[in-house]
Every structure is written in structure tokens, then in C-alpha cells.
Amino acid sequence: MYDFDELVERRGTNCFKWDDVKDGDLLPMWVADMDFKSPPAVIEALEARARHGVFGYSGCWNTWYQVLLDWMKKRYGWEARREWIDNSPGVVASLSMLVRAYTHPGDQVIIQTPVYSPFYSVVRSNGCQLIRNPLIMEDGKYRMDLDSLRPRITSRTRAIILCSPHNPGGRVWSSDELKKLGEFCLERDIVMISDEIHCDLIFPEYRHNVLAALSPELEQNSAIVNAPSKTFNIAGIQAASTIIPNEKLRNAYRHVLNNSGIDIPNVFAVTAMEAAYTHGEAWLEELMIYVQANYRLVRSFIQERIPQIKVMESEGTFLVWLDCRDLGMDDHELETFFREQARLILSPGHIFGEEGRGFQRMNIGCPRSLVQEALLRLESAMKRMQSKGWGQ
């Protein structure tokens, strides 16, 4: 019913992904937004709000809270409460404020790497130390490594930032994995900050578990950060929220939020979020079928025609993690190969941390014809490289 094949020209719209790439011949598949139009209901709501013509200070009223509560309950079985929620201009802003609220400079915060790069900066910029706990790759998927985490905890370990689902690995953590991590953190008094921005972007056979919904104890030890921005492709509108059930944790966060001066929502963010959660579900369901078909195409094409690259097993998100280590290139050579030879801009794996070296992240949230074009470019680049004697 929705046309995800439509090619929408994004150049010339102040678009980070396309306009930042000066060479028009390069195909950008990096920044994590999609090239699809948002659901029609979101566009119509924004048009109507724009036509109103008065854009003074806005607020979040009952409908805004209610649509989020309804979404959480319907899709994830979590009965959150209105008073637990705060609006935020973005997930990264919230992560940074949460770290500030729960730590003192010199404290330690855990991240499981490789992971979305701002996880590093929100810890460091708040004067804290990182405990990097690498994920283990097993059967083409990541899993958490609690055994190696145990000895790294000290009396100054205060918090963990969890990426759930995982960017860049595409894992949708199981309730069992999350509960084990949750128990580990509860025993050691480590607050859990759960970035669930990708939670709606799940392939049909998987289920996302909201961390706080797993037990009353975890509910009291977690801050859930969520947004409709990836889901409905409205990242540029900057709408996000935090849901913090524990009063003490919530008040600590609110103190930082109120001091930041960014607690007043953008008028279009309120409009877009209400429309997306109220009317966007059918669109989202079709979207994920489309994205999964893109993923399957990438996987089968690369398996058959570019077997030197391994495609990570993915359970959701529109991001594909490509293991290019068998190409034997260093970071610079790999980037040059993708850019100069394949004429593609992907996200280099090393920005996600040491463990990302030799990987590239490909954004497949785009019309299939672009995915096909990218795969053909990559295959030709490989053939050219082989014809020059590579790999012999």
C-alpha cells in the first residue's frame, strides 16, 4: 500500500546524508536515517500545523503522553505512567544528561562495544571513565560477555549504557540476556540507561523487550530513552522521550534537564510524534517487511557474489554490519576501497570502537533500486581489484 520504492531527491534539502557528500556520483549509505517519506499521516499533521501559522512556545499535553503510553502498552506490553515521562530533543542529549545525573567526574560507565559512537563521547564529555566491555561474536551474531565484565567493576562503576536493539550489530536482545545483565547490575548497584531508539525497527519474527518491563526491580533501576525518530524517519524534527519509573532517578535527571534549558519541545516535534504513534503503525509494519527484504537481498547477493565479505546476522534495524576483515585492508585502505572503487559512502567500522576495525556499516533504509545499485558497484569494485591480482 505504501510506496517504499519511490526515489525522493534529498539533495538540496540541507540533508546531512546526501548534501554533505559533495561528489554527486557517490552513493551515500551512512548516517542512520532513511530515504523514505514519513507516513502520510505525519506529513498531513505537519502541513496542517504549518498552515496554522503561529509557532510560539509549545508544551506536551495529555495527548502527547497518552500516545506514547498507548504505544508502549500495545507494542511492548509495558504499562508506564504519565508522570515517569519527559520530553527531550534527542536521544543523545538525554544520554548525556542521564550520565551527568547519575555520576560524578571520575566515575565509571560501562558500554558494550562495538557500539554507536556517541556512547563514548557522552561518557567522556561528562568527565567519566569508560569501561569497554566488548561483545562476543558467535555464529555471526553478537552476545554479551558478563564473565569479562565482572572483574572490571569497581566501587566507582555507576552506570551502563545499553544499546537495545544494537547498533551496529542488529541484535534484538532476548529477555534472557537482558535479565541476566539486569541482575548483574542490580547486584552491583549499577544504574541502567537503555537506549531503545531502534526498538520499533524489528524484523517480524523478533520481539523487542523494553528493559523496564522485564521485572519490577529492573523497572526501578532503569531509564528508558526512546524516540519515534528512526521509526518514522523524523530524526530532523528532534522528538524523543525518557521514561524513568524510579522517583529518585527521575528527579536527578529532571534536575539536569531543567538546568539545561532544552526542556521546551519543538512545536513540530509534538505534532509529528502524536501523529506517528497514533496513525503510523500500519506504515511501520509494511516498512519492516520492505527493509527485511532489502536485508535478505544484501545477504544473498554478498554470500553468492562477494563471499570475501561476511554479512552479520540481523534481527532488526535498517543497518547492516559487514565484516570485511578477510579483505586484509587497514581502516584507511578499506574506506578508500569503498569510496574510490565502489563509489559508496558507508560508515567506517572503527568509529564504533576498536572491535569495529575491518567492518563497514551499510544503511539499507532506502529504495531497493539503491541497494541493488550499491551491490553491483561493490561487486564491480571487487572484480577490478581481483583482476589486478588481489587475493592471489
Ligand X SMILES: Cc1ncc(COP(=O)(O)O)c(C=O)c1O
Backbone angles phi, psi at 7, to 5 degrees: -90, 115
151, with CB counted inside 10 A (0-12, 13-18, 19+), is exposed
Taking CB under 6 A as the rule, does residue 92 contact ligand X? Answer: yes
Least CB distance to ligand X at residue 227 (A): 5
Distance CA 187, CA 242 (A): 24
The count of chain residues that interact with ligand X, using the rule CB under 6 A, is 13
Taking CB under 6 A as the rule, does residue 199 contact ligand X? Answer: no
The DSSP symbol for 387 reads H
The DSSP symbol for 178 reads H
- Length of the chain (residues): 392
Interface positions, 137-176, toward ligand X (CB under 6 A): 163, 167
Q: Which residues contact 272 (CB under 8 A, 6 or more apart)?
A: 38, 42, 45, 46, 228, 232, 234, 237, 239
Instruction: Tell me whether residue 221 or residue 231 sits nearer to ligand X (CB atom).
Output: 231
The type of residue at 181 is: L
Least CB distance to ligand X at residue 90 (A): 3
Interface positions, 96-125, toward ligand X (CB under 6 A): 116
Instruction: Tell me whether residue 18 or residue 337 sits nearer to ligand X (CB atom).
Output: 18
389, with CB counted inside 10 A (0-12, 13-18, 19+), is exposed
Taking CB under 6 A as the rule, does residue 29 contact ligand X? Answer: no
Site string for ligand X, 280-309 (x = CB under 6 A): ------------------------------
Taking CB under 6 A as the rule, does residue 35 contact ligand X? Answer: no
Instruction: Find the binder of ligand X among 160, 181, 240, 378 (CB under 6 A).
Output: 240
Task: Tell me which stretch binds ligand X (CB under 6 A): 89-97, 154-162, 203-211, 377-385.
Answer: 89-97
Task: Please give the residue ranges that form the binding site for ligand X (CB under 6 A).
Answer: 32, 90-92, 116, 163, 167, 195, 197, 227, 229, 235, 240
